Amino acid sequence: MKLPQAYRPILSLISNFSTLQSCFYDPAHYLKKWHIDYNPDADKLAVEEGFQHWYEAYDYHRGLWGSRAAVGEPVLSAFVIKETATTHVAWGRNPYYYAVDKAGNQLPYCDQLYMYVVENMELVKAKAMSGELTTFGAWFGLLADMPAYKENEAKGQYEAREWIMKTPAALNVSFNLTHKDPVLRKIFNDVRFRQAMSYAVNRAEIIDKMYFGKAEVFQSTVDKDCSFFKEEWGKAFTEYNVDKANSLLDEVGLKWDAAKKYRLRPDGKTMFFSMQYQPEFSASVLELIKTYWEAVGMQIDLKPIQRDLYYTKGGANELDTGIWNSDRMIELRVALPGLTKFDPGSEMFYAAPWARWLSLQGKPPAEGTLAPEEPPQEWKDQFALMDKWRTATTDEEAKTLAQQVWQFFSDQIVLIGMVGYPVTPQIVKNGLQNIPKVANLDDGLNWFKSIHPEGFYWKV
């Protein structure tokens, strides 16, 4: 692979599961008939299959994210999709998989993988405790659930293990810097407001109540094992100090109402914002955060919404806050363009119109899409610096630029991290072999890919 210039994220792009799927992984001999460059009748074929354009059919048959059409698509992985439905996805053993064990036996050992598709997390937990699941990684779960898992070990015939989230912030909250309400926009863009909201959070209490002490007080930043990491980034604005929070909110100009229950915006309205989150993120942790922020005068509407709606609202610049974790922050992943949560158009949606402006590069937006917005100069400089970091030609230059990039993000506290590196429950069915007692989990580690499920087998 030859590139026109140095590009440090290339190894990450090659090895990351999502980019493998969308950039380097499409079998040409299988997909050519749906692509207009190879089949002049591709649009006609797409219409026959119920699509309007060839590229819609092409994306469908690529099988991204386990779509129904992925059945039969040639893959290089250990398992090939055999069946998809709204309730489950089933994979079978790939007879052409290239890898063998030390004895020459072709991998994978297991003949089938079966995944339930369940939107209700409580139902997932119930399935795990009843013994219906071979393994279940509750990476969005809490160690507070562990007593229930341990209590049902004998009945469910499994072992509840403690794995570790390789995530500096298992939960972030961001404030929309491009908010459509000009008053909220001005407040959210005042760094003192974001500092105050961070100081108001009692992270030690969250860790004690929800993780039995098995997590770290850590700010949202790069992984602590990165070669360019600075310890102060992990500690920035993590002190629990309500007095300091209130003092900063006073400086921002958010005065208390007559009853000293809520703070008031400069236009006299109550300081209100909504926190909409996906069900897989812990409501109990968010309820604690709501309590902390109400104590410094915020009025908050906290409610769960489904992932599709969250993405739709975030992409349309209609969220007050973004709620997600800080994954992909290990050194191999953190330079990925557009794929960490510090990208303005990421799942945190702290400035979706800025991301739109960056992606268009001066081109007019398509009709009906989100209007782009040019970022302030200091943010344009930051995004340009990130591009320079990604194309650094020496490790020394890359380290210097990386520290400048992440110092800016630390100072701006654009993502407020709540809990770092928490221990999380992992259910493993009795008899399943070659699955570790302790492991790190994270999207940057490609979840289970990094612990090699092709090597799992059953003890007979």
Q: Is residue 16 part of a domain?
A: no
pLDDT at residue 22, as a whole number: 46
Give 128-159 pLDDT, tens digit per residue: 899 999 988 755 567 888 899 999 999 999 99
Structural domain range at position 378: 169-417
Residue corresponding to tokens 């974001």: 194
CA atoms within 13 A on the CB side of 429: 15
Within this chain, do residues 372 and 389 fall inside the same structural domain, yes or no? yes
Q: What's the CATH number where 246 sits?
A: 3.10.105.10
Count: domains in the chain: 2
Are residue 151 and residue 285 in the same domain, yes or no? no
User: pLDDT tens for residues 225-268?
Assistant: 999 999 999 999 999 999 999 999 999 999 999 999 999 999 99
Residues 6+ apart with CB under 8 A from 11: 332
Predicted confidence (pLDDT) per residue in 54-89, tens digit? 998 988 887 665 455 567 778 778 888 888 888 888
What is the rounded distance in angstroms from the CA atom of residue 129 to the CA atom of residue 149? 6
- Could you tell me if residue 9 is inside a domain? no
Same domain, 205 and 278: yes
Q: Does residue 240 lie in a domain region?
A: yes
Residues 239 and 336 in one domain: yes
Return the pLDDT at 141: 61
Please check whether residues 152 and 242 belong to one and the same domain: no
Chain-wide mean pLDDT for the chain? Answer: 91
Task: With respect to residue 312, please indicate whether it lies within any of the assigned structural domains.
Answer: yes
| pLDDT of the residue at 446 | 81
Same-domain check for residues 159 and 284: no
Q: What are phi and psi of 21, to 5 degrees?
A: -70, -35
First vs last Cα of the chain: how many Å apart?
A: 45
Which pLDDT score is estimated for 230? 98
239 with 150, same domain?
no
Please check whether residue 81 lies inside any domain of the structure: no
pLDDT at 409: 98
- Whether 203 and 138 share a structural domain: no
Whether residue 121 is contained in a domain is answered as: no
Domain contains 190:
yes
My answer on whether 174 and 199 are in the same domain is: yes
Do 201 and 265 fall within a single domain?
yes
Is residue 193 domain-shared with residue 216, that is, in the same domain? yes
Which residue ranges of the chain lie beneath pLDDT 50?
Answer: 21-23, 66
d(CA 101, CA 408): 47
Residues with Cβ within 8 Å of 417's Cβ and at least 6 positions away in sequence, in order, are 168, 169, 171, 172, 218, 219, 220, 221, 238, 326
Per-residue pLDDT, 67: 53
Model pTM score: 0.88
Range 98-102 contact pairs with CB under 8 angstroms and sequence separation of 24 or more: 99/454, 101/455
- 191 and 152 within one domain: no
On whether residue 138 sits in a domain, the answer given is yes
Strands 263-264, 79-84: pairing is unpaired
